[in-house]
Structure 1
Amino acid sequence: MTSLTPLSQAIHDAPRWHQADQFQDGSEIRIVPHTDQALGAVVYGLDARKAQSGETIFRLKQALAEHLVLIFKQQQLDDLQYLAFTTYFGSIFRPAADTPVLAAQDDSGVSPDIVPVSNAVGQGDYTGHGELSPHANHQWTPLPSFGSLLYAIELPQDGGQTSWINTIKAYNALDADTQAHIDQLQLIIYNPFVRRQKTQASSQDGVYGNSPLYRFKDQPVLSHAYPHPLVRTHPESGRKALWLNTHTEVELENYEDQAGSELIAQLRAHLLQPEFAYEHQWEVGDIVFWDNQVTLHSRRPFPAEQCRLLKRISLAGSRPF
């Protein structure tokens, strides 16, 4: 018999609804919104090792669409249990080999289903220990991921906090004239990993390396271009959000260079206002699940000699509209 892949093995071994000792009582689960923050809710009482009912998963999906970030506390999972829990919410994100992403393997171009986001495990030291600027995972791909989960295994004593930006709130805070002007614009976000490969940037430069913030038409194109809406519509809630990060090379389609560069700079400064953000103080056992379609996330730096290990799984998405 053919051996199973880790994902298939995770589903094969997943707890079953009909086994009472493996089933989660949904009444034990509480979802507490961050009433004083721009986004986020904490989920208490959920044991991600157990089978979850349809009512619980639907409730969590509704909460994610409303609050954009869910924080599951005090989890203790192995990799297969983590995969099995994650797939309640969608398929694993697997970009094509011709579209480099974080942790893409040199031989195949494919990234693992579980990416160790760490400075402490050797080959998996994908993001180092420096600051990471606000971004959404996989924005430069033809089918960006819908969401990601990050599971805290080992944490530094100092720094390493992750912040999320609510890009729905940021869009809604724009004046009506600006909203009308940008609603139909198309944005190209160029693949920072292609630039890093071609310029051989140091890993200490962070995920994005040293790249221009805006591509003028006389500058070379280093990666494939996939235009997406600058203002993205959430596929479930219908809410609009700015589909833009702060430091990756971008270009507005059919837009004059200098005016486009200035508009993007203004929108990026707008996104960084503190009233749109929530900063998470990690605890071991936290799993944070966020909606990539309507949030950005960033990381504070931490000392190189302190270990930080989290495990990320991303979920497949659809073409932005």
Structure 2
Amino acid sequence: MTSLTQLSQAIHDAPQWHLAEALQHPNEIQITPLKDQALGAIVTGLDARKAQSGETIFRLKQALAEHLVLIFKQQRLDDLQYLAFASYFGSIFRPSADNPVLASQSDTGVPPDVVPVSNAVGQGDYTGHGELSPHADHQWTPLPSFGSLLYAIELPQNGGQTTWFNTIKAYDALSDEIKKKIDSLQLITYNPFVRAQSNTGTSGYADSPYYRFKDQPILGHAYPHPLVRIHPETGRKALWLNTRSEVELVNVSDIEGSDLIAELRAHILKSEFRYEHHWETGDIVFWDNQVTLHSRTPFPAEQRRLLKRISLAGARPF
């Protein structure tokens, strides 16, 4: 018999609904919105190792659409259990080999299903220990991921917090004049990993320009997506714009486009749109990548940090 893939093995081994001791009772789970925060809710009482009822998964999906970030506390999972839980919410994100992303492998061109986000030697060494500016994952691909789950296994004593930004609230707070101006614009986000590959020893984001002017070379493929995208479940509008990597507005002059992007990026960073998460071991944070950005504070290089990320497939933004 052919050996199973990691994801197939995870679902094959997952607890079954018909076994009463393996099924989580929906009444054990509480969802509590974060008080006085721009987004986020805490989920307690859930054991991600157990089979979850349809009622529970539907409730969690509704909560994610409403709060954009769900924080599951006190989890203890291996990779297969983690994959089985994540697969309740969608297919695993698998980009094509011609669109490199974090942890794309040299032999296949695609990342593993479970990506170690770490500075710990031998655990992946992805993202290092420095600051990461606010971004949406996989924004430069033709089909960006819908969401991601990040599981905290080992944490530094200092720093390493993750902040999420609510880009629905950021859009809603714009003036009617600006909304009218940007609602029909398309934005190209250029792939920072292509830039890193073409400049050996660079980190991609840190070395890319903030805006691509027409006289600058194009690195990698260009996929225009709406600057203002619609959430597919709620219909709410959000700014689909990160704050650091190279971008370009379609059919907009260089100076006008550069100035507009700089204005919108400064707006997104306002404190009223953000929530900073202080990690605890066993946290799983599940976020909607379609309408949020996330960033990370730096931490000491000698302190170990190991989290594991699973990203879920998305559709073409509209």
Q: TM-score, normalised by structure 1?
A: 0.98
Contact 1:201 1:210 in 2 (8 A): no
Residue in 2 that maps onto 1:45: 45
Residue in 2 that maps onto 1:246: 243
Question: Aligned with 2:290: secondary structure?
Answer: coil
1:183-238: CA deviation from partner (whole Å, max 9, x where unpaired): 00000000000001001233xx4x62301000000000011000000000000000
Contact 2:189 2:222 in 1 (8 A): yes
Q: What's the offset of the Cα at 1:35?
A: 2.5
In the alignment, the residues of structure 2 paired with residue 33 and residue 138 of structure 1 have an alpha-carbon distance, to the nearest angstrom, of 27
Supply the AA of the counterpart residue of 2:317.
P
Runs (4+) off by over 6 Å:
none
Contact 1:196 1:209 in 2 (8 A): no
Is 1:225 paired with 2:217? no
1:84-125: CA deviation from partner (whole Å, max 9, x where unpaired): 000000000000011000000112211100000000033610
Mapping 1:87-236, distance limit 5 Å: 87-122=87-122, 124-202=124-202, 205=203, 208-236=205-233
Contact 2:116 2:123 in 1 (8 A): no
Q: What's the offset of the Cα at 1:67?
A: 0.1
Residue in 1 that maps onto 2:80: 80
1:16-37: CA deviation from partner (whole Å, max 9, x where unpaired): 0110110101100000001210
Is 1:2 paired with 2:5? no
In the alignment, the residues of structure 1 paired with residue 310 and residue 83 of structure 2 have an alpha-carbon distance, to the nearest angstrom, of 8
Q: What's the offset of the Cα at 1:57?
A: 0.2
In the alignment, the residues of structure 2 paired with residue 86 and residue 151 of structure 1 have an alpha-carbon distance, to the nearest angstrom, of 11
In the alignment, the residues of structure 2 paired with residue 199 and residue 241 of structure 1 have an alpha-carbon distance, to the nearest angstrom, of 33
| Residue ranges of structure 1 left out of the alignment (5+ in a row) | none
Supply the AA of the counterpart residue of 1:189.
T
Contact 1:140 1:188 in 2 (8 A): yes
Residue in 2 that maps onto 1:289: 286
Supply the AA of the counterpart residue of 2:312.
L
Residue in 1 that maps onto 2:309: 312
In the alignment, the residues of structure 2 paired with residue 35 and residue 254 of structure 1 have an alpha-carbon distance, to the nearest angstrom, of 42
Supply the AA of the counterpart residue of 1:25.
H
Question: Aligned with 2:243: secondary structure?
Answer: coil
Please give the root-mean-square deviation of Cα atoms over the aligned residues, in Å: 0.8
Contact 1:15 1:22 in 2 (8 A): yes
In the alignment, the residues of structure 2 paired with residue 276 and residue 296 of structure 1 have an alpha-carbon distance, to the nearest angstrom, of 10
Question: Aligned with 1:122: secondary structure?
Answer: coil
Q: What's the offset of the Cα at 1:166?
A: 0.1
Q: How many residues align structurally?
A: 318
Contact 1:136 1:297 in 2 (8 A): yes
Supply the AA of the counterpart residue of 2:236.
R
Question: Aligned with 2:295: secondary structure?
Answer: strand
Question: Aligned with 2:126: secondary structure?
Answer: coil
Supply the AA of the counterpart residue of 1:104.
S
In the alignment, the residues of structure 2 paired with residue 296 and residue 110 of structure 1 have an alpha-carbon distance, to the nearest angstrom, of 23
Residue in 2 that maps onto 1:301: 298
Question: Aligned with 1:60: secondary structure?
Answer: helix
Is 1:266 paired with 2:263? yes
Residue in 2 that maps onto 1:257: 254
Contact 2:123 2:306 in 1 (8 A): no
In the alignment, the residues of structure 1 paired with residue 201 and residue 57 of structure 2 have an alpha-carbon distance, to the nearest angstrom, of 42
In the alignment, the residues of structure 1 paired with residue 80 and residue 88 of structure 2 have an alpha-carbon distance, to the nearest angstrom, of 13
In the alignment, the residues of structure 1 paired with residue 121 and residue 40 of structure 2 have an alpha-carbon distance, to the nearest angstrom, of 30
In the alignment, the residues of structure 2 paired with residue 122 and residue 208 of structure 1 have an alpha-carbon distance, to the nearest angstrom, of 24
Q: What's the offset of the Cα at 1:72?
A: 0.1
